[in-house]
Amino acid sequence: MKFERGPYLTAALLCEKVLIEQDGFKSLIRIVDRVTRTAAGQNPPENMEPFNWEIFLFTRIVAGAAVRGTRDIAIQPQKPSGELMPPLHQAVHFEGEEDRGADVITRVVITLDQPGIWWFRISFEGEELTRVPLRVIYMPQVITRPIHSRGGNPPQGGDPPNEQ
């Protein structure tokens, strides 16, 4: 087994905010695994328009018996089409006992240009530890014009227009 003696991944998730309290404890706010993009109008685009999205990827890695010193953590987004985007690298320092580790908080600003499942591949020293999914849903909504009476004014109340 590759990681039999460490490191051990104890958390990996996407969230809108990470609070770091004065005592060092962390709170993860609004854990996210999907985002819905809508386009509304009389003729909304058939395909999703690209949009920028900001999120935090929180990763907690415990050293185990095998890991000490500064190591490379990489996060590489993968589009639903399978295309790999450039990885984000972060140096993380491990020290102390084997139950000690590191919390890696990565601010991700990404252009989402395809609906489907995006994967955030998390690697330690070039070896993949896990993947975190994000489902992007595109929902075009056709909005039709409201029906008006012949006089040009919209009907009042809940009664249908009086056609003669």
Q: What is the pLDDT of residue 144?
A: 85
Residue ranges and CATH numbers for the domains of the chain are 8-142 (2.60.40.1930)
The H or E element that residue 29 is part of is strand 26-32
Asked whether the beta carbons of 18 and 26 are under 8 A apart, the reply is yes
In this structure, what token pair is assigned to residue 95? 């020290």
Q: Is 146 left (phi over 0), alpha (psi -120 to 50) or beta?
A: beta
Q: What are phi and psi of 152, to 5 degrees?
A: 90, -10
Query: Burial of 135 by CB count in 10 Å (0-12 exposed, 13-18 middle, 19+ buried)?
Result: middle
Q: Which residues contact 114 (CB under 8 A, 6 or more apart)?
A: 48, 79, 80, 81, 136
Q: What is the pLDDT of residue 49?
A: 96
Place of tokens 């060092």: 24
Q: What is the pLDDT of residue 22?
A: 95
For 81-113, give the DSSP string.
TSPBPPPEEEEEEE-SSTT-EEEEEEEEEEEE-
Give the pTM.
Answer: 0.81
10-residue stretch averages of pLDDT, the chain, 164 residues long: 82 97 95 96 93 97 87 96 96 86 93 98 94 97 73 52 46
